[in-house]
């Protein structure tokens, strides 16, 4: 989506901030995935009243964006698991979700795992 949008803007001669545009496109993709997940949750009677259920949908939105179908399939899979398997799935999902955050990047940097060499 980002590449197509920047190409169109370049073709018509509009200027834009690439970082801001990339951020907005990412946010739009995650929003679209969240909408698809909420729609599917309602279709399959997956209750979204608990914070845990909303957290699962949020983590799926972040982890699977921009692939709506993969996120929906993951929600379907999760909803069919037993309680113990759901717990294990949530642990794995939350780990993936946290790895997408800037705080995780900061921890990596402070731990020396982001050492960069400039030649």
The CB-side HSE value for 27 (13 A sphere, CA atoms) comes to 6
| Whether the model pTM is above 0.85 | no
DSSP state of 116: -
Burial (CB count <10 Å: 0-12, 13-18, 19+), residue 22:
middle
**């709506």: which residue's tokens?**
68
Q: Where are the domains of the chain?
A: 2-100
With a pLDDT cut of 90, the percent of the chain lying above it is 58
Tokens of 74: 């993951």
Q: Between 119 and 76, name the one with better pLDDT.
A: 76
Is the CB of residue 72 less than 8 Å from the CB of residue 42? no
- Nearest-angstrom CA–CA distance, 65 and 80: 22
- What would the pLDDT profile of 55-102 be if each residue is shown by its tens digit? 999 999 999 989 999 999 999 999 999 999 999 999 999 999 999 888
């Amino acid at each position: 989506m980002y590449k197509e949008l920047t190409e169109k803007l370049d073709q018509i001669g509009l200027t834009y901030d690439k970082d801001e545009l990339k951020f907005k496109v990412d946010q739009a993709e995650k929003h679209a995935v969240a909408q698809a997940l909420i729609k599917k949750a309602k279709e399959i009677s997956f209750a979204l009243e608990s914070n845990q259920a909303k957290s699962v949908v949020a983590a799926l939105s972040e982890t699977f964006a921009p692939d709506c179908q993969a996120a929906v399939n993951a929600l379907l899979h999760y909803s069919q698991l037993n309680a113990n398997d759901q717990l294990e799935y949530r642990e794995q999902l939350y780990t993936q979700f946290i790895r997408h955050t800037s705080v995780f990047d900061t921890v990596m940097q402070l731990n020396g795992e982001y050492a960069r060499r400039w030649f």
